[in-house]
């Protein structure tokens, strides 16, 4: 971890209340990092979906299990990881919620929303074998700096 990277780690209970808590913590960090309101909303919502996934599918609402969330502010990115104590999964196993035959499904849109709201999203295997969701957003100044360097 670079010297100018800040990181917090939170252990959440497998409870419905943890969903709101994780969202609220992340939104505060995103606000402090200087993201505009709409981006703060998107980051919060992506994290919300990540914790819902851990609560429902990873830990299967088992209160004995924990959800680990970390938020890292690096010089150019905000990286959120949500790790559950389930069995893990591959993104390729998940049906495409945009496919015509899946539009009337009542679940299966959470991963899609995480991908839509963050700049980068991937699913890895956590240290204990569960899913580790990695969500990355470029910090606002990175976007504006990129704009300055665009050729005229």
Partner 1 sequence: MALQGTCRQIGDVAIIDFSGKITLGEGSATLRKTVRELAEGGQKKIVLNLSDVDYIDSSGIGELVSGFTTVRSAGGELKLLHLTKRVHDILQITRLFTVFDVQSEEGAAVRSFK
Among 22, 52, 82, 134, binds partner 1 (CB under 8 A): 52
Orientation of helix 37-53 relative to helix 110-117, angle to 10°: 150
Stretch that binds partner 1, among 66-74, 80-88, 104-112, 134-142 (CB under 8 A): 104-112
Tell the smallest beta-carbon distance from residue 74 to partner 1 (Å). Answer: 27
Question: Rule CB under 8 A: which of 61-80 touch partner 1?
Answer: none
Question: 75: alpha, beta or left, given left = phi > 0 and alpha = psi -120 to 50?
Answer: alpha
Paired with 10 in beta bridges are 69
Phi, psi of 101 (to 5 degrees): -70, -10
CA atoms within 13 A on the CB side of 29: 25
Q: Is residue 109 close enough to count as binding partner 1 by CB under 8 A? A: yes
H or E stretch covering 81: strand 77-83
Tell the smallest beta-carbon distance from residue 124 to partner 1 (Å). Answer: 21
Q: Is residue 92 close enough to count as binding partner 1 by CB under 8 A? A: no
Tell the smallest beta-carbon distance from residue 18 to partner 1 (Å). Answer: 11
Q: How many CB atoms lie within 10 A of CB 58?
A: 28
Question: Rule CB under 8 A: which of 2-41 touch partner 1?
Answer: 16, 19, 41
Applying CB under 8 A, the residues found at the interface with partner 1 are 16, 19, 41, 45, 48-49, 52, 97-98, 103-107, 109-110, 112-113, 116
């Amino acid at each position: 971890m670079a010297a100018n990277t800040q990181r917090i780690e939170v252990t959440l209970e497998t409870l419905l209340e943890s969903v709101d808590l994780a969202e609220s913590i992340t939104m505060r960090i995103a606000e402090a990092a200087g993201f505009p309101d709409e981006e703060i909303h998107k980051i919060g919502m992506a994290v919300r979906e990540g914790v819902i996934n851990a609560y429902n599918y990873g830990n299967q609402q088992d209160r004995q299990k924990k959800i680990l969330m970390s938020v890292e502010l690096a010089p150019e990115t905000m990286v959120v990881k949500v790790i559950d104590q389930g069995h893990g999964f591959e993104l390729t196993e998940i049906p495409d919620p945009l496919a015509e035959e899946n539009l009337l499904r009542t679940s299966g849109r959470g991963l899609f929303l995480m991908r839509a709201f963050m700049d980068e999203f991937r699913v890895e295997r956590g240290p204990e074998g569960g899913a580790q969701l990695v969500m990355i957003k470029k910090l606002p100044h990175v976007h504006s700096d990129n704009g300055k360097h665009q050729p005229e």
